[in-house]
Amino acid sequence: MSESDNFAGKYRMIAELGRGGMAEVNLAIASGPMGVNKLVVIKQLRQNLADDPEFLTMFLDEARLASRLHHPNVVDTYEVVAEQGHYFIAMEYLDGQPLQRVVREFGKTGGLPIELMLRIISDALGGLHYAQELTDYDGAPLGVVHRDISPHNIFVTYEGQTKVVDFGIAKAMNSSSETRSGVIKGKISYMSPEQSRSEPLDRRSDLFAMGIILWEAVAGQRLWKGLADVTVLQRLMVNQPVPSPLDVNPEANPILSAICMKALAPLPADRFDTAADMQNEIENALIEMKKRATVRDVGRALAEKFAAERAEIRNIIDAQIKVQPSAENSRIARLTSLSQSQSLSQSQTSQNTPVSQQTGVERPSSTGQSSLRASLSLSTPAETTDLPARPAAKMGGRLVALVAGAALIGGISWAAVNRTSGPAVAAVPVAPANSGKIVLNLRASPPEARLFLDDTPLPSNPYAGSRARDASPHVLRIEAPGRVPKNRTVSFDGDVSLDIELEKAVLDAPAVDSARPEATTPDARPDPKRRGGSGARPAETTRPGATTAKPAETPAPAATPAKGKTPSVTLDNENPWGK
């Protein structure tokens, strides 16, 4: 690593895409001979974790797997580098949007046509099948399971190419790291029943997640809309059947509904055997529906929708490329929101930062019941995908020129996002299983939201600290001007990690208790004149927090720039890859 923090080997950092408890993600330039420059995404293990065997093993497991993945529908990894105690991964830079933003932005103006959504889902299944079929050099199956499939980890470029990203918590049979007992990895709103019980997983767990994405497109709303995470987990753990899209939207396409229900079968044995099988069914449905959708059609729609933001981000990148590559004048830009009025909810695994969490939900006694930073746009934590409240073609998303694969392992998944308007949460270690302490990681959006625990104000948002372990219920209250306050009941019998977004207040609208289903608004009702579609905005998801070596007894202070280092500027505080 260069003496300047703006360099990593041959790569010069030009924009910060996100930070998580385990890694930092930057957009960088690899300069070659004769003035040739190549944009790449650099994911670097935090220096304070490089000497920790557990974190180093996790990072290297991810690097080994990522370096083996080479497919048109999977983000590409160029190289893995270990240099003077620094470890980083150089990945493909993608110019486009994560699916959750595509869905949300199009939802504001009528929705993404269902045939385009099906093309995206089908192509994502193609990339997923490739990863799941991967073998070792001797031909032995690696048994790869992504474990965090969601709209945040499906990326669509402005050329219409779909990429599966963020294999940060993916698992191969020969991986070195082990998941601790009782720890759930993944986003609860896209989790399979067996994953909710921390049982061994195979490829069919990922197909359940893909089934949820398809269900939400066909039904026109979020599958778990209005339900608290603890309620979702309880339903998953006992294999409670999922309703058919036709039960929610009578105008939903019956062929697509049947595909959804097979993918969402409570028992893995009743689902599709492979992602290719599910992909074939979707392709046949497109033919049956007499719908035609190509990669070019998808790209044309995205390029038109996000033209202004894309041009502005390009200007920022061009300006950074022109900077002379010296430690003295090199300055890392932070891709910040181009339009505050378009700010979305999150995510980041950051946005959605949900990667690993210990829940206080009691498991069934037996399993017999079945048993830039990468995105130049605007970087922020990953959030729960919000589907527009209208059927089929109505899916919206927010523009952010994202770089695929810039997700971080530390917050919840690569899609972890870094809210630029607030201080970063320092990585907080998970307390030992028999410890008298639990780790508390809390984050609320908007950044000015205030947190109250048992009516006592917490000193910061985000907040990281520890509490005495106990099984008593505690009430977390979140408030912000112009937003509907929310209450969450939590138990301190295990580590708690939450990423909550407050919805904008409507005149005379009562406060919403996140533990109860939210009242359905007119926009959230399916449009009987259309089939398929997007859904209503999702309830916030409990995001498992990043862990480190020791629990913090006091709130983590806001990060301050290292001496001599220029503070970064942000392009987008809604970038799911920066969490």
- Of residues 45 and 175, more confidence is placed in 45
C-alpha distances (whole Å) from 281 to each of 131, 210, 212, 277, 392 are: 19, 13, 16, 7, 18
Residue 291: pLDDT above 70? yes
Integer Rg of the chain from CA: 22
Say which DSSP state 150 is in.
S
Residue 310: pLDDT above 60? yes
From the list 355, 305, 453, the residue with the least C-alpha distance to 152 is: 355
- Domain range summary for the chain, segments of one domain joined by +: 96-298
Judge whether 379 and 578 are in contact, CB under 8 Å: yes
Instruction: Report pLDDT for 128.
Output: 97
Residue 214: pLDDT above 80? yes
Instruction: Report pLDDT for 420.
Output: 34
Q: How many CB atoms lie within 10 A of CB 403?
A: 36
- How many whole angstroms separate alpha carbon 25 and alpha carbon 415? 11
- Of residues 98 and 322, more confidence is placed in 98
Band (pLDDT 50/70/90 cuts) for residue 50 is confident
DSSP 370-434: T---S-BS----E------SSEET-------BB-TT--BTTTTBTT----TTSPPPPP-PPPPTT
- How many whole angstroms separate alpha carbon 567 and alpha carbon 561? 6
Residue 372: pLDDT above 60? no
- How many whole angstroms separate alpha carbon 51 and alpha carbon 86? 10
Q: Which pLDDT tens digit goes with each residue over 437-450? A: 788 888 888 888 88
Q: Which pLDDT tens digit goes with each residue over 452-476? A: 998 888 888 888 888 888 777 888 9
CATH topology of domain 96-298: Transferase(Phosphotransferase); domain 1 (1.10.510)
Q: What are phi and psi of 308, to 5 degrees?
A: -65, -45
Residue located via tokens 């006992």: 238
- How many whole angstroms separate alpha carbon 4 and alpha carbon 463? 30
Question: Checking DSSP bridges between strand 496-501 and strand 437-445, what pairing results, if any?
Answer: parallel
Residue 176: pLDDT above 80? no
Q: What is the pLDDT averaged over residues 521-540?
A: 42
Q: What is the pLDDT averaged over residues 32-56?
A: 84
Under DSSP, is residue 41 helix (H, G, I), strand (E, B) or coil? strand
Judge whether 365 and 72 are in contact, CB under 8 Å: no
Instruction: Report pLDDT for 407.
Output: 36
Instruction: Report pLDDT for 218.
Output: 95
Query: Does the predicted model carry a pTM greater than 0.85?
Result: no
Q: What is the pLDDT averaged over residues 54-68?
A: 85
Instruction: Report pLDDT for 151.
Output: 95
Does residue 138 have an active-site annotation? no
Instruction: Report pLDDT for 177.
Output: 46
Instruction: Report pLDDT for 171.
Output: 62
Beta bridge partners of 13: 28
C-alpha distances (whole Å) from 78 to each of 1, 13, 43, 88, 156 are: 18, 16, 12, 11, 20
- Of residues 116 and 557, more confidence is placed in 116
| Lowest mean per-residue pLDDT among 217-231, 388-402, 458-472, 492-506 | 388-402
List the alpha helices (DSSP H) in 227-384: 229-237, 245-248, 254-263, 275-288, 295-305, 307-321
CA 51 to chain centre: 27
Instruction: Report pLDDT for 540.
Output: 40
C-alpha distances (whole Å) from 512 to each of 83, 212, 484, 485, 520 are: 51, 25, 6, 7, 12
From 148, 229, 499, 527, active-site residue:
148
